[in-house]
Structure 1
Amino acid sequence: MSADSHPTLPPVRLHSDAELARDALGAPLFARAVRLARWAGPDTRVGVGGELATAQLPEAAAVLGLDTDDADSPGYASQAWRVAVDTGLVDVTEPEEDGADGAEGDEERFGTAAPGEDLALVTGGAPGDVLDLWLAALDTVLADAAVPDLDDLVDALDAGGEIDFDRLDWNPGREADFLDGVLANLYLLTVTEGGAADEPVPLPVLAASMVVPDDMGEPTDAVLEQVSDAMMRLDDQFRQLEPIGLVEFRPVDEELMAEADGTPEPEHASTGRGEDGEDGRPVADDEDVSRYGMVRLTPLGLYGIRARMLEAGVDAPAVGELAEKGADALLDAVSFYSENAAQAEIEQWLAGREQPAAAAELLAAARGDDEGGPLRRLRCQQALAPAGPEAEPAVRSVLDDPELGGLARVWLAERGVSDVPAPDPEMVFWLTVDTIAAQLAADGETEELPLLMETLTAHHAGFFEQVWRVEHPATAYVLEAMGRLHPDRKAAKEARKAAFKARSRRPA
């Protein structure tokens, strides 16, 4: 899975390992693999690649409780056996080479199989052991899903019965990268605040995310045809991924495919672009968009895709993983989280600590005149918001601190403390700059920011005549933003003049 697409992702809320392990054991394909591993024994025969002998597939299907009259049952049994072998749930001994032990050269040879050592982990291992086995199974299923379907393989046979890979136009690496990219986009849609969350994502949206260029306005007919082709590939692939517990999937409506002679017309379903998808979600036109397929990652799927991303070097944080780290690591990390995600992470960090010590550690970590300082202090203020009276001594201890004194006064005032010393003008101006810098860093130039600017400057006559002198690394940057965003035109003009002065006084 590529680490280049989304180098830093929003934090994901994962279920506990115990819950995820139960989900893994309940995934139909994994459960079948476990059952076949327990069934394997001295009479089990395997081929050269460790595959189950064809003659034993009906028995394996019966062991799995599959309908032996169903033509698909042997294929399901074969797939479950392959997962069992690849995960180490089954150990196979492949057949010996021709001529060994005096065997007849024309005689078909078989190897043997037995339950593997890892099978004991299913019932006797820790949840993490079960999840490791499931991840190995997922690798097998993803590899299978990237292989062309049987009809495509048959169409690509040459006169000699060999597969013509040029005609098939199949590149294993390219197909694997495509599927990884789709799953990465689905993960991003799920974990991004305001995105899909627990809602299913329409297949056209995922297909378009892989096909339609970001800078394209209205997709061309040729691009829409590529989206349709990608949808059909994904329909087949998600059907294969659902049994391992990665996704919940509603396939493309069979009647819809029949109506379109096997390929749904892309213009009927929005790709989530332009007017239809300001939030990246589709809008149905004449037909229910769900007919084009809907997919969502399960909690186990979120865990699995994140694990693959971490292995590829992608920064894919999870809420709660900072609970044992120091306040400096906490504030640095949550500075880039959404407010809700930051709050969830902070709550878990605070849960295992005494309030006085936690408050002191947070305040110490919030100091700094670096570029990230304002946002660290904003998150520190957020972290201290639920603290009770036990934190008051730590907060009072920084009242004279030039960087934290304003924060401390706000915290004490919100709790109705009466003996809080008034801040000097220099601290007021510094806190104003720091607050706006933090908001810009957290959310950018939002619609609410001009009102905040107006509120912070309204109570100070001659604000812009004084603020440009504030010794804060973001003074000029904040004043330039105020010059663009302040709702009062006269104040905005004064802010631009003050920004010029602030730039002039700072060394190049």
Structure 2
Amino acid sequence: MAADRLELPPVRLLPEEELARLALAVPLLDRAVRLARWCAPHVTVDAMGELTAQDVPRAVRELGLEEQPDGPADAAQAWGVAVDAGLVDLDIEDEDEDDEEAAAGSVALDEPAGRAVPGAALGRLDAGGPREVLEVWLAALDTALAEAATPDLDGLLEELGPDGEVDLGSLDWDPEEEAEFLDGALANLYLFTAMEDSGGDAKDAVPLPVLAASLVVPEDVEEPSDALLEDVTEVMMRLDEHFRLLTTIGLLEYQPLDEALIEEAESEDDGPAETAAVFPEEIGPEEVSRYGLVRLTPLGVYGVRSRMADAGMHAPVAGDLAGEPAAVLLEALFQYPDQIARREADAWLGNRKPYDAARELLEAARGEDRNAPGRRLVAQQTLSLLGDEAEPALREVLADRQLGGLARVWLTEREAADVPAPDEDMIFWLTVDTIAAQLDADDDPELLRELVTDLVARHDGFFTAAWRVDHPATADVLEAMGRIHPDKRLAKEARKAAFKARSAGTAAP
């Protein structure tokens, strides 16, 4: 695949109205909204903007969390989201710089230092439309992600230094690194979701070991070493901790890692779980759920895509290409999975008459740049979706060196009459062009090897004629055939032909 092509396939998003309904039902956002309404006309807060001790029980009761052991913590989390999302505005008094008590640092954090009132975002939520609701949810998501990437406060307090401050240097934790790690995991989960083409339903959960391996195991590694398996285990542990915290914001659905597996690994390894291989090299289908399953919700797909777009990444949405020129369509479809490419091509063709669509596709397929063979391959696949009404457009290019071969393929597949046979030059040119496109796609090495082997077998003296083909990729294709062909003698012939093609190209004026 060409490095300058798009990297993310498109996702299908639910309508904004439906996404907004889902956002309003998210437990964490629902609690934050309820606390924002509850604080009217105002409640007192401490210097950090947190609820004072006397108001925390009231907030817990407001949320109906009295019977929950984590009720105060959940209320505090919802309050933090309300503040960060603008559902609550803070008005905290500034301490007098000359105040001796403040200078001495003796002011208790829990003492009232200001007040909180319902914020502007609450008004937008009540009066606005789906877009406003989703903006508030995205702000809440940012807060939840930041919290998930932050170590437990109790753990930090255990690391207090002699001066009463946390020594971040002594912690095995870097806030920026942890946030990037979590973003990377969500990006990979997003990619898995897009590749599954689940239509916004995110039906297929990803096993936690698979997601963890995608973050640490290089693509060219077939058999992970014990060290790599331990790295995967460590990443699983980190993801498990993060994902447990993210279910209440509606980002994902998560079936946690079975803690019994961790205990088993510790006992077998006689060491900490972080260095023990929690899972075997192969996991049976009936056991996979014990190792954790995660999937983005439809709201999660929307949220991760929004964050990617804000970061400057191109994260397309299904149907975006329907109104684009053919050249944009062909460049994009080249790197899409087959099922998604077919869906996008159908949407593009649905907006055009068959004859007009065929002419536009053929014109966009021309060119001698690096991506041109890929465009022609995709054009041929897209043209195959058109019926007989497109035939006149294909006949118009029969004499064209770049397009005549694929036009003949299209007409022959439909058993059209009076299709002129291609000359040898056109056959070899189309052969080089097709292999060049397959090399650029780099999808299935075994399939490419079979294609190369079959082509050489069907043409006596293939390499004697092939090096003369006037195609920009001739030398590259012949070199690749020399690497791919299983027959050593023919592979050597391919390399010699590549040398001749390069020499001819150098000598040409």
Q: TM-score, normalised by structure 1?
A: 0.83
Matched residue SS, 2:277: helix
Change (3 A) 1:330 1:264: same
Change (3 A) 1:84 1:368: same
Change (3 A) 1:44 1:435: same
Contact 2:244 2:254 in 1 (8 A): yes
* Structure 1 equivalent of residue 498 of structure 2: 499
Contact 1:36 1:81 in 2 (8 A): yes
CA–CA distance in structure 2, aligned partners of residues 170 and 232 of structure 1: 14
Change (3 A) 1:171 1:492: closer
2:71 aligned to which of 73, 84, 87: 73
* Structure 2 equivalent of residue 283 of structure 1: 283
Please show how residues 424-439 of structure 1 align to structure 2 within 5 Å: 424-439=423-438
Q: CA deviation at 1:416?
A: 2.1
Please show how residues 352-431 of structure 1 align to structure 2 within 5 Å: 352-431=351-430
Matched residue SS, 1:382: helix
2:7 aligned to which of 9, 28, 42: 9
Please show how residues 264-279 of structure 1 align to structure 2 within 5 Å: 266-270=276-280, 276=281
Contact 2:234 2:275 in 1 (8 A): no
Change (3 A) 1:364 1:17: same
1:172 aligned to which of 171, 175, 191: 175
Contact 2:5 2:332 in 1 (8 A): no
Q: CA deviation at 1:456?
A: 4.2
User: Which sits farther off after the overlay, 147-156 or 259-268?
Assistant: 259-268
CA deviations 1:452-508 (Å, max 9, x no partner) are 345545555544433322211122222333344446676555544433332221117
CA–CA distance in structure 1, aligned partners of residues 458 and 231 of structure 2: 59
Q: CA deviation at 1:245?
A: 1.3
* Structure 2 equivalent of residue 330 of structure 1: 329
CA–CA distance in structure 2, aligned partners of residues 224 and 457 of structure 1: 42
CA deviations 1:225-271 (Å, max 9, x no partner) are 6655544333222111111111211223344455648847733414x
* Structure 2 equivalent of residue 273 of structure 1: none
* Structure 2 equivalent of residue 242 of structure 1: 247
Please show how residues 420-459 of structure 1 align to structure 2 within 5 Å: 420-443=419-442, 446-456=445-455
Change (3 A) 1:121 1:159: same
Contact 1:451 1:487 in 2 (8 A): no
Matched residue SS, 2:254: strand
Q: Which amino acid aligns with 1:150?
A: L
Q: Which amino acid aligns with 2:89?
A: D
Q: How many residues align?
A: 486
* Structure 1 equivalent of residue 101 of structure 2: none
Matched residue SS, 1:400: coil
2:158 aligned to which of 119, 135, 155: 155
Matched residue SS, 1:93: strand
Q: Which amino acid aligns with 1:78?
A: A
2:148 aligned to which of 129, 145, 149: 145
Answering whether residue 48 of structure 2 is matched by residue 45 of structure 1, we say: no
CA–CA distance in structure 1, aligned partners of residues 193 and 476 of structure 2: 34
Matched residue SS, 2:116: strand
Q: CA deviation at 1:410?
A: 1.4
Contact 1:378 1:435 in 2 (8 A): yes
CA–CA distance in structure 2, aligned partners of residues 156 and 224 of structure 1: 30
User: Which sits farther off after the overlay, 361-370 or 160-169?
Assistant: 160-169
CA deviations 1:260-302 (Å, max 9, x no partner) are 48847733414xxxxx3xxxxx5359x9453343322223223
Please show how residues 41-120 of structure 1 align to structure 2 within 5 Å: 41-66=40-65, 68-95=66-93, 97=95, 108-120=111-123
User: Which sits farther off after the overlay, 428-437 or 90-99?
Assistant: 90-99
CA–CA distance in structure 2, aligned partners of residues 203 and 211 of structure 1: 13
Contact 2:11 2:318 in 1 (8 A): yes
Matched residue SS, 1:114: strand
CA–CA distance in structure 1, aligned partners of residues 235 and 444 of structure 2: 37
Change (3 A) 1:125 1:412: farther
CA–CA distance in structure 2, aligned partners of residues 291 and 213 of structure 1: 25
Q: Which amino acid aligns with 1:15?
A: L
Q: Which amino acid aligns with 2:311?
A: A
Q: CA deviation at 1:404?
A: 0.8
Please show how residues 297-308 of structure 1 align to structure 2 within 5 Å: 297-308=296-307
Change (3 A) 1:491 1:28: same
Change (3 A) 1:388 1:338: same
Contact 2:468 2:501 in 1 (8 A): yes
* Structure 2 equivalent of residue 279 of structure 1: none
Change (3 A) 1:424 1:138: same
Matched residue SS, 1:323: helix
Contact 1:7 1:315 in 2 (8 A): no
Matched residue SS, 2:506: coil
Q: Which amino acid aligns with 1:69?
A: E
Contact 1:480 1:499 in 2 (8 A): yes
* Structure 1 equivalent of residue 469 of structure 2: 470
* CA root-mean-square deviation: 3.6
Change (3 A) 1:181 1:366: same
Q: Which amino acid aligns with 1:119?
A: L
Matched residue SS, 2:345: helix
* Structure 2 equivalent of residue 479 of structure 1: 478
Change (3 A) 1:306 1:433: same
Identity %: 54
Contact 1:185 1:209 in 2 (8 A): yes
Please show how residues 212-227 of structure 1 align to structure 2 within 5 Å: 219=225
User: Which sits farther off after the overlay, 361-370 or 429-438?
Assistant: 429-438
Answering whether residue 210 of structure 2 is matched by residue 200 of structure 1, we say: no
CA–CA distance in structure 2, aligned partners of residues 159 and 496 of structure 1: 70
CA–CA distance in structure 1, aligned partners of residues 212 and 420 of structure 2: 60
Contact 1:202 1:295 in 2 (8 A): yes
Q: CA deviation at 1:442?
A: 1.9
* Structure 1 equivalent of residue 104 of structure 2: none
Change (3 A) 1:172 1:482: closer
User: Which sits farther off after the overlay, 140-149 or 433-442?
Assistant: 433-442
